[in-house]
Structure 1
Amino acid sequence: MTLSKYKTGILALATLWAVSCKPGGGNQQETASRLKDIAARYYDANMALNPVQATFNGENKYNGDLAIDISDSWRASADSVCVKFQDELKNIDTAQLSSNDRITYDMLSRELTMTRESFKYHDNLMPVQQFTCLPLTLAQLGSGSSAQPFKTLEDYHNFMKRMQRFAEWSDTAIANMKRGIATGYVLPKTLVVKTIPQLADLAKNDTSNIYFAPIKSIPDSIPAADKATLAADYKAAVEKYILPSYAKLKQFMETEYLPKARTSSGIDSLPDGKPFYSFLIKSWTTTDKTPDEIFALGEKEVARIRGEMEAVKNSVGFKGDLPAFFDFVRSDKQFKIFKTPAAILDSFKAIENKIMPGVRKMYGHLPKTKFEIRQTEAFRAASASAEYQPGSPDGTRPGVFYVPILDATKFSYVGMECLFLHEAIPGHHFQFSLQQENDSLPKFRRFTWIGAYGEGYALYCESLGKELGLYTNPYMYFGRLSDEIHRAIRLVVDVGLHSKGWTREQAIKYMMDNEPVSEQEVTAEIERYMAIPGQALSYKIGELKIRELRNKYTSELGNKFSLSSFHDELLKDGCVPLSVLEQKMARWAKTF
């Protein structure tokens, strides 16, 4: 799809919205109906603007599109779409909305405002980095094992269209980065160094290049007469659009961009870096906290958790200091008790069986989606971490807790209990499943993700272990503390990097001084925070807000407080910003 055609599509959508927009007034049913209509059309418009996201959402009609979302023209079009929906929302009388519809209104209003505010900043001048960017996402889609379907001739032709559009995207990226060099919007050198080999690998004209993978697995459902032509056309598209684009990006990054990259680590050194970081904090945490407030909170949490770690160390009779205890827990053979992958999976299943009676008392509404524990497939286990993959909304696919096991004899049991609570039950499995199963939510809410809520809730679930009969082994509890301090450290190092002038090396040292991880792991973590400022703040900020709300209503409601009712209310509306969460929980408390 050409850019001119894409803009025409946006203008057509704009005309449709103008015709369908109605003035305010009417009764409660009419108001609710108009809001539902706005939310549905917003979701469709957002998918049209962001076709790659649409593919991940399973909206396959956009599988051949690729937005040049770093271009000024796309940003202007997206801004105008937001303005139109903001104007429509002004005609909604919020006093006539139910509590659920009010959440929809508040979330949509916030999303439109934040999207428009994001366009004030110039992250589109730094469109390529080592952690997350379109060149990496497109390669994931092009692998044939991700969200992009490769089942029919149309599927293959759709991705060929995307490859053609990527050539335009990469040219725009280079032009933008040249503007960034001229205006001071450039990446840190340490991140640029990491991107160059990634781009080089994806530029190789070699059958091992991930972009050639779909040719090797053309399904039998495609007629044999078409397979040879399809393979030749697909290979030609990769060679014409993909390989030269990555080669140009690699050459530019290496010869022009790297010499001009900055030596500083944080975005506060960019021309508008300080207000940009404040915006990113607001976006990722869904709060108005200042960098200094978050930094102080992080230091306080690190000190508190270190105190608990010292207590565990002393309780088991360990004589060395805390760093020595870190090494002991990480390496001692007594924590490597497994001989087979099946034994590890059985141990996780035993955790599930142990906690479920307590979970049923803590939660009144359990998800219908089935749940499974599986070993991560061998082809991706080496680079994978334990993870949860949601089931399908229709219940045909279960939610799956994946555990990577490269060598069962080296798998430590420390941390298994808190990992299960976070990734599986009652963490991500409950939150994702209940959200997707709730068909009273508009689509943009059923399939939205807000990290401060979703990761905050999963981290909160780790704190439920003692109430559910876990953490009786002090080393299991130490595993819980290790995970918790990791999220607290993020508050310190992220703000340190992006608001207090910390160097990459300073942040690496702080993390290594306060948790049991290797230098290689820490370096990757710190460079992640450099690449996506603010994202790592969401976990701990969300968990602390949920814990604060539980403590508040436990105290205020006294004997009327019900933990299962609290949890049901917490989860029933899906991912919401923390400000909206606070408001809805206050409405819930008034019902007692």
Structure 2
Amino acid sequence: MNKRTIAASVLAGALLIGCSQQTQKEAQVGGGEQTASAETNNLGSVFDRYWEENSKLFPLEATAQGDNRYNDQLPNDGTVAFRQNLQQFYQKYLSELQQFDREKLSDNDRISYDIFKYDLETKLEGLKLNTWMIPYQQFWGLPLTMGQYGSGEGVQPFKTAEDYDNWLGRVRGFSVWADTAISNFRRGMRAGVVLPRPLVQKMIPQMEAMVVSDPSKSLFYGPINKFPASVSEADRKRITEAYRAAISNELVPTYRRLGQFLKTEYLPKSRTSTGIAAVPNGPDIYRYYVKSWTTTDKTPDEIYQTGLAEVKRIRTEMERVKNQVGFKGDLNAFFNYMRTDKRFTPYKTPEDVLNAFRGIQAKITPNLPKLFGRTPKTPFEIRQTEAFRAASASAEYNPGNPDGSRPGIFYVPILDAKTFNTTSGMESLFLHEAIPGHHYQTSLQQENDQMPKFRRFAWYGAMGEGWALYTESLGKELGLYTDPYQYMGALGDEIHRAIRLVVDVGMHHKGMTREQAIKYMMDNEAINEQGAVAEIERYMAIPAQALSYKTGSLKIQELRRKYEQQLGAKFKISDFHDELLKDGVMPLAVLERKMDAWAAKQQ
């Protein structure tokens, strides 16, 4: 998924937090004087007020969801005052929630109650950690998000003169944010809460790439090159001058300052250790991340053992497929054959590749009604990833709008169609990123106006990514994987998620080094060293995030097996899938309670 797969769940975290002074005052109002009793207030009103305040506190998140009221705001999320604000904000709404008798609520409101309670308690627990001493890293953070929003290619709108002026407000906020970030990094240096050296080495060129002498060569000049017809000539001239000044006087100096700080001060103090356990309170930090990303109480050791077992199981199936096609040699030789043999690179043009994915969609379409009774109204398209970002992009899904004004888009990066490999898991990739994976799950969730907004626009990776990975296992039921090489590609995708369980826990809990993790990955899947390094360093930067995919997928498969056994002939797979998706993403324990109640009604 568009790293909305990741970023949306973290928008309210390290990167995209912000609020105005006015909002800070509002958020600090005590719970007692604003809290209405359960008798005079309804749960929906609590959720509505929460959503309004949350949108002010997190204006970048609001922009991403189409709420453009705060598009000029980028407040300073790194301060002690902001964290205190958040603590009071979350506690206020948790106190309000606790005035309701859960047992007297409707089924849908009980689900909302459980998700809301889980979310607030998890966020309050997270605020106790010292992770604010690491404001960003190479994989995500505000310095990268600014480029995504300000390029004119992201969710920040540039349709009117006011839109252009709004962005300048965020530029001013970024300069202040960067000073706080450097201060927090320095606090971390003194406390020993610092990033591993290989990650810092990746961050420095990211900052330096934003330093230009000619403003027109800046990424942030993109909107100037694409003025809509509605912007007058006078406004164009004024805005162009303002953007050139903002790039030269604010953005470039800010990125230069960040880059120089990382290179001269931070890099020498960065750590040579790999996992988060090496920093003060590191084991507690990792346990929190494991709990929040998987939405379970599984221990790191449990997850590690699951990973080892899954890697072994999938390798056994890979051996079976290798033998089925008559390949002589070991698995690594088979991987190499699939990567390099000319028969697996048949395409000539990007359109050939896109047509192959359209062919996959056509093949599964007749079979979808067997597995789904409810399908999204949101339109769907397959597009080639734009050239400016294709080199660093993965295949991904960008959600559409609930009103249908923007389709859900499956983006495929095609640098050279002649080297695009058919065995890369094209069929499983389409199922995961497109239909029925992220497109069905996200669209049905956003289209359900019976849910409060905090649920319609929620993201829990354990269920969201778990669902998408689960849908890869539906390939044969949907008429795919008839070609053993496509099935092998699907197994490759699956073992990649299993390997994550081993190396993530290995690095952050069991003392596995970066180099050992890279070797383990390359020994067990068809990935080159460059790809393995990028993956392992991602897991170093965001501990436990990579555990969510397989954990969620295994839970959904477990639930399916349970209800198949319980219900026997009364089990209908389309009803199971429809029930699973209709209420949006949620913590896995909440999902299991909901699904158990559904199964009981089927009997």
Query: Is the structural similarity TM-score above 0.5?
Result: yes
* 2:196 pairs with 1:196: no
Match of 2:530 in 1: 520
What pairs up with 1:44-55 in 2 under 5 angstroms?
44-55=52-63
Q: Which moved more, 1:377-386 or 1:162-171?
A: 377-386
- Structure 1 distance, partners of 2:239, 2:221, is 12
What pairs up with 1:19-418 in 2 under 5 angstroms?
20-25=34-39, 34-206=42-214, 207-414=216-423, 415-418=425-428
Q: Which amino acid aligns with 2:69?
A: K
Post-superposition Cα deviations, 1:127-156, rounded to whole Å, max 9, x if no partner, equal: 131110111101111111111112222212
Match of 2:20 in 1: 6
TM-superposed deviation, 1:18: 5.3
- Structure 2 distance, partners of 1:46, 1:247, is 32
Post-superposition Cα deviations, 1:224-270, rounded to whole Å, max 9, x if no partner, equal: 12222221122212222211111111111111111111000110001
Post-superposition Cα deviations, 1:89-131, rounded to whole Å, max 9, x if no partner, equal: 0111111111111111111111111111111111111113111
Query: Cα gap change, 1:10/1:360 in structure 2, threshold over 3 Å: closer, same or farther?
Result: same
Query: Cα gap change, 1:125/1:330 in structure 2, threshold over 3 Å: closer, same or farther?
Result: same
- Structure 2 distance, partners of 1:22, 1:494, is 45
The answer (yes or no) to whether the contact 1:338–1:411 under 8 Å persists in 2 is yes
What pairs up with 1:542-557 in 2 under 5 angstroms?
542-557=552-567
- Residue 466 of structure 1 aligns to a residue whose secondary structure is coil
2:466 to 456, 461, 469: 456
- Residue 217 of structure 2 aligns to a residue whose secondary structure is coil
- Structure 1 distance, partners of 2:255, 2:141, is 13
Q: Which amino acid aligns with 1:180?
A: G
* 2:571 pairs with 1:561: yes
- Structure 2 distance, partners of 1:218, 1:373, is 26
TM-score, normalization by structure 1: 0.96
Match of 1:576 in 2: 586
TM-superposed deviation, 1:341: 2.6
Query: Cα gap change, 1:473/1:325 in structure 2, threshold over 3 Å: closer, same or farther?
Result: same
Post-superposition Cα deviations, 1:447-487, rounded to whole Å, max 9, x if no partner, equal: 11111111100100000111122111111110010000000
Q: Which moved more, 1:126-135 or 1:475-484?
A: 126-135
Root mean square deviation, CA, Å: 1.7
TM-superposed deviation, 1:16: 9.4
After the TM superposition, which parts of structure 1 deviate over 6 Å for at least 4 consecutive aligned residues? none
Q: Which amino acid aligns with 1:361?
A: K
TM-superposed deviation, 1:19: 5.2
Post-superposition Cα deviations, 1:65-93, rounded to whole Å, max 9, x if no partner, equal: 11311211100001100111011001111
TM-superposed deviation, 1:220: 2.9
- Structure 1 distance, partners of 2:379, 2:236, is 38
TM-superposed deviation, 1:346: 2.4
Post-superposition Cα deviations, 1:254-305, rounded to whole Å, max 9, x if no partner, equal: 1111111100011000101001100001111101111101111000000000
- Structure 2 distance, partners of 1:6, 1:403, is 38
The answer (yes or no) to whether the contact 1:25–1:93 under 8 Å persists in 2 is no
- Residue 262 of structure 1 aligns to a residue whose secondary structure is coil
TM-superposed deviation, 1:175: 0.8
Q: Which amino acid aligns with 2:146?
A: L
Match of 1:435 in 2: 445
TM-superposed deviation, 1:383: 2.4
Q: Which amino acid aligns with 1:241?
A: E
- Structure 1 distance, partners of 2:63, 2:51, is 13
The answer (yes or no) to whether the contact 2:18–2:75 under 8 Å persists in 1 is no
- Structure 2 distance, partners of 1:340, 1:138, is 33
- Structure 2 distance, partners of 1:4, 1:314, is 56
Q: Which amino acid aligns with 1:9?
A: T
- Structure 1 distance, partners of 2:235, 2:376, is 44
The answer (yes or no) to whether the contact 2:381–2:407 under 8 Å persists in 1 is yes
The answer (yes or no) to whether the contact 2:19–2:59 under 8 Å persists in 1 is no
The answer (yes or no) to whether the contact 2:19–2:73 under 8 Å persists in 1 is no
Q: Which amino acid aligns with 1:123?
A: T
The answer (yes or no) to whether the contact 2:18–2:59 under 8 Å persists in 1 is no
Q: Which amino acid aligns with 1:135?
A: P
TM-superposed deviation, 1:372: 2.0
Q: Which amino acid aligns with 2:311?
A: V
TM-superposed deviation, 1:408: 2.1
The answer (yes or no) to whether the contact 1:282–1:288 under 8 Å persists in 2 is yes
- Residue 468 of structure 1 aligns to a residue whose secondary structure is coil
- Structure 2 distance, partners of 1:371, 1:150, is 24
What pairs up with 1:448-527 in 2 under 5 angstroms?
448-527=458-537
Gaps of 5+ in 1: none
- Structure 2 distance, partners of 1:559, 1:232, is 70
The answer (yes or no) to whether the contact 1:86–1:109 under 8 Å persists in 2 is yes
Gaps of 5+ in 2: 1-16
The answer (yes or no) to whether the contact 1:375–1:404 under 8 Å persists in 2 is yes
The answer (yes or no) to whether the contact 1:487–1:540 under 8 Å persists in 2 is yes
Match of 2:13 in 1: none
- Structure 1 distance, partners of 2:144, 2:19, is 26
- Structure 2 distance, partners of 1:480, 1:61, is 43
TM-score, normalization by structure 2: 0.94
- Residue 388 of structure 1 aligns to a residue whose secondary structure is strand
- Residue 296 of structure 2 aligns to a residue whose secondary structure is coil
Query: Cα gap change, 1:313/1:527 in structure 2, threshold over 3 Å: closer, same or farther?
Result: same
- Structure 2 distance, partners of 1:384, 1:191, is 19
The answer (yes or no) to whether the contact 1:295–1:496 under 8 Å persists in 2 is yes
TM-superposed deviation, 1:211: 1.8
Q: Which amino acid aligns with 1:473?
A: D
- Structure 2 distance, partners of 1:559, 1:92, is 39
For this pair of structures, how many residues does the alignment match?
584
- Residue 62 of structure 1 aligns to a residue whose secondary structure is coil
